[in-house]
Structures are given as structure tokens and as C-alpha cells.
């Protein structure tokens, strides 16, 4: 099960306490208390493993080490170790405590989530000409404590949407080496898949149905994974008695999640074209062409519709041509 939305508590380490101590060497009486160490900070680091949020399935509280207290003889306490959390690239860390938002977008990028507290000064640091035997010390500062919601939103160029069983995953497999499961029944895809077509990342999500937005089927929560795509590929099966109705059903569910999805440029594909007769195809393509232009919101790409079949190499070439054009524009 892909974990793509979790809430965790993050505590950075407390700074160590400063020491109050005096030099035992008879020749040089004086303050000798060392300072406390810094508390460990907590960082996030983007990794390519999209299932990395699984580590938080049961572990909801993350604490970095506290700084150690200072000692006599000028010995400062050790700093607490920093903690580095591996987060899948595409994670949005919503800081529920202060309303902040951090995006993890580049693999290897490390960003501070919660800063450790500074250590308290030992009494040696308080010495002065008028305070030669200071008994003051710093207590050390608390580390930052935050509640974060970690939400994974795939970073992909193109999002695949459509009813179940229309051939979304089949096409992903044809175009990329995703090797995802395909079968002749609805809801084969239970979790989003990514595939790479050269430098374009394609995101295939589970099929939507009428009422997904109210929780039917697998619901619409996976739409978060296409929120940040630039273009949608919308698949409608040529087997459908009413392709236009299918199209509208999906658009309604997209809009219910986030109306911004309706503004994205989209391309329409009438799939499984080998299962319809040429005259059927013609009628169905015409029905979809009618809505094509207006639905795209007049964005860069025309959303005219083409018929494809994974069994028809020429039609796959046409899809690749579209992808190559998108790639060239990127
Ligand atoms: N005849 C024919 N069958 C196809 C074509 N494309 C896909 N299929 C078949 O249609 C069935 C469904 O394909 P999937 O790729 O799993 O469909 P999906 O849209 O990803 O389905 P969900 O994951 O359930 O949303 C499988 O049995 C495929 O082999 C096609 O072009 N022609
Ligand atoms: Mg699928």
C-alpha cells in the first residue's frame, strides 16, 4: 500500500544545560563550567523511493537527540546528532503548527524541518571583572516542535485519467518500461504508477467512476498525484456506448477534487480502437471532437481526439509523436 499522506510530530533536540564549576587547580581559582551542546535538528531529504513515507506508518513521533550538558574543567557538552528523514521526491511538508509549507522537489535536496535548541552557556562564559565567581548558567533552549502533514504528490509531466479498464496502464507499459499490472477488469490499478518516456514522467492513476468524489470505487484521493502535471491524457474506450458521457463523468470527478484540473491542457484518446468498427469509430470520434477544443481551456495544446490501440503500432507511433512534441516544448 502506497503511503502518500501522513501526519507526524517532529521534535528537534533540546540544547544542553551549561555547567557551573570552578577550577580545582589552587593556582587559578575561577569559573570552569563548560557550555551545553546544541540539540539535534531534523531535516528532510528527497529520495527517489516513492514508498519512503511507509516509515511513518506506525512511527508518528520523531525526535532528534538532545544536546549533552556542559561539564567542569571547560568541557562543553556534545551536540545532539541531526536526524535526516528520507522523503519521496514530490513530498509537500505542511507545517500544521505554523502554516508553513516545504516542497521536496529535487532528489538529494536536504531541507530543515525543525531546528535544535542552542546549548546554554557554562559559568565560564559569564565571567567578567566584576563577576569573577559567576554562578549563572544557561539552561539550553528547547528545540522546535512541529506537527507536519507529509503529502506525496507525484512530480510528473503528464497525468493519465479515465474510467477503469480503458487501457491507461496498458499504454503506460507500451510507452515506458513501467511494467505495471494490466487486466481485463475494473480497478486493476490500485495505486498510482509512474513511467518515464525519455525525460517525460507519465503518471497513471487508478480508474475513476461516477461518484468517485463521494467515495465510490477507490475514490478521488489519487488525483493529488496528477495535480502538478502539466497536461492530462484522458482515455475513453471505443467499446463504450456513449463516449461523451464517459468524458463528462470524468471531468465532473476531476472538478470535484480541484477545479484547477479542469484548466489543464488535455489530449483525448479513444482507446481499444481495434474493438470498434470503422463506422462506429467515426461516430465516436466525431462526438468527442465536438467537445475537444472548449474543454482544453484554449491552452497550448489542442485537445483533439485520436483513436489508439495498443495492438496498432501506427497509433502508438502517433502517441509518441505527441509526446515528442511535448518533450520538445518542455
Ligand atoms: N483489444 C484491446 N484491448 C486493450 C487495449 N488496451 C488495453 N486493453 C485491455 O484492456 C484491459 C484493461 O487494460 P488496463 O490497461 O488494465 O486498463 P486501465 O485503464 O489501466 O484499468 P484500471 O487500472 O482498472 O483503471 C486489459 O485486459 C488490456 O489488455 C487495446 O488497445 N485493445
Ligand atoms: Mg490501470
User: What is residue 148's three-state secondary structure?
Assistant: strand
Using CA atoms, how far apart are residues 18 and 69, in angstroms rounded to an integer? 6
* pLDDT the model gives residue 81: 98
- Ligand number with the minimum distance to the CA of 218: 1
* pLDDT the model gives residue 218: 94
Angle in degrees, CA 86, 88, 94, rounded to 5? 90
* pLDDT the model gives residue 26: 58
| Measured torsion, CA atoms of residues 167, 168, 173, 176, in degrees rounded to the nearest 10 | 150
Divide the 330 residues of the chain into consecutive groups of 10 and give the mean pLDDT of each group.
95 98 76 97 96 96 98 96 98 98 97 98 94 94 98 97 98 96 95 95 97 94 95 97 96 96 96 97 92 49 81 97 95
Q: State the greatest distance between any 2 C-alpha atoms of the chain, in Å, as a whole number.
A: 106
* pLDDT the model gives residue 28: 61
Distance 38 CA to ligand 1 centre (A): 57
Of all helices (H) and strands (E), which one includes residue 289?
A: helix 278-295
- Ligand 1 contacts CB of residue 95 (under 6 A): no
The C-alpha cell at 313 is 503500432
* pLDDT the model gives residue 182: 96
Sheet holding 91-95, edge to edge: 61-63, 5-11, 145-152, 91-95, 101-103
Cβ atoms of 187 and 218 within 8 Å: the answer is yes
* pLDDT the model gives residue 308: 98
- Ligand 1 contacts CB of residue 212 (under 6 A): no
Angle in degrees, CA 41, 141, 53, rounded to 5? 25
* pLDDT the model gives residue 330: 87
- Ligand 1 contacts CB of residue 313 (under 6 A): no
Using CA atoms, how far apart are residues 151 and 137, in angstroms rounded to an integer? 42
Residues around the ion ligand 2 (C-beta < 5 A): 168-169, 188-189
- Ligand 1 contacts CB of residue 166 (under 6 A): yes
DSSP-derived secondary structure for 182-218: --SSS----S-EEEEETTEEEEE-----TTGGGT-TT
Using CA atoms, how far apart are residues 47 and 88, in angstroms rounded to an integer? 5
Using CA atoms, how far apart are residues 251 and 35, in angstroms rounded to an integer? 62
* pLDDT the model gives residue 27: 56
Amino acid at each position: 500500500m502506497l503511503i502518500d499522506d501522513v501526519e507526524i510530530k517532529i521534535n528537534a533536540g533540546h540544547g544542553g544545560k551549561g555547567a557551573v564549576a570552578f577550577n580545582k587547580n589552587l593556582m587559578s581559582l575561577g569559573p570552569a563550567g563548560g557550555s551545553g551542546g546544541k540539540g539535534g535538528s531534523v531535516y528532510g531529504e528527497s529520495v527517489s523511493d516513492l514508498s519512503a513515507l511507509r516509515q511513518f506508518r506506525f512511527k508518528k513521533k520523531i525526535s532528534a537527540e538532545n544536546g549533552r550538558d556542559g561539564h567542569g574543567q571547560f568541557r562543553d557538552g556534545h551536540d545532539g546528532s541531526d536526524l535526516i528523514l528520507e522523503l519521496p521526491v514530490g513530498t509537500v511538508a505542511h507545517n500544521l503548527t505554523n502554516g508553513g509549507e516545504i516542497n521536496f522537489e529535487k532528489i538529494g535536496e536536504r531541507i530543515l524541518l525543525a531546528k535544535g535548541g542552542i546549548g546554554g552557556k557554562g559559568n565560564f562564559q559569564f565571567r567578567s571583572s566584576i563577576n569573577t565567581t559567576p554562578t549563572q548558567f544557561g539552561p539550553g533552549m528547547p528545540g522546535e516542535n512541529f506537527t507536519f502533514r507529509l503529502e506525496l504528490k507525484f512530480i510528473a509531466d503528464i497525468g493519465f485519467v479515465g474510467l477503469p479498464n480503458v487501457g491507461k496502464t496498458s499504454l503506460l507499459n507500451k510507452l515506458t518500461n513501467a511494467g505495471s499490472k494490466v487486466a481485463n477488469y475494473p480497478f486493476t490499478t490500485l495505486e498510482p504508477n509512474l513511467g518515464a518516456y525519455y525525460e517525460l514522467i507519465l503518471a497513471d492513476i487508478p480508474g475513476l467512476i461516477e461518484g468517485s468524489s463521494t467515495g465510490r470505487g477507490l475514490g478521488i484521493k489519487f488525483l493529488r498525484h496528477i495535480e502538478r502535471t502539466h497536461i492530462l491524457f484522458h482515455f475513453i474506450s471505443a467499446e463504450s456506448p456513449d463516449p461523451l458521457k464517459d468524458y463528462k463523468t470524468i471531468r465532473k470527478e476531476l472538478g470535484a477534487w480541484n477545479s484547477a484540473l479542469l484548466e489543464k491542457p488535455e489530449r483525448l484518446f479513444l482507446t481499444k480502437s481495434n474493438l470498434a468498427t470503422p463506422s462506429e469509430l467515426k461516430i465516436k470520434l466525431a462526438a468527442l471532437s465536438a467537445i475537444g477544443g472548449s474543454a482544453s481551456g484554449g491552452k497550448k495544446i489542442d485537445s483533439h481526439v485520436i483513436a489508439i490501440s495498443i495492438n496498432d503500432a501506427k497509433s502508438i507511433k502517433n502517441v509518441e509523436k505527441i509526446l515528442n512534441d511535448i518533450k520538445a516544448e518542455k
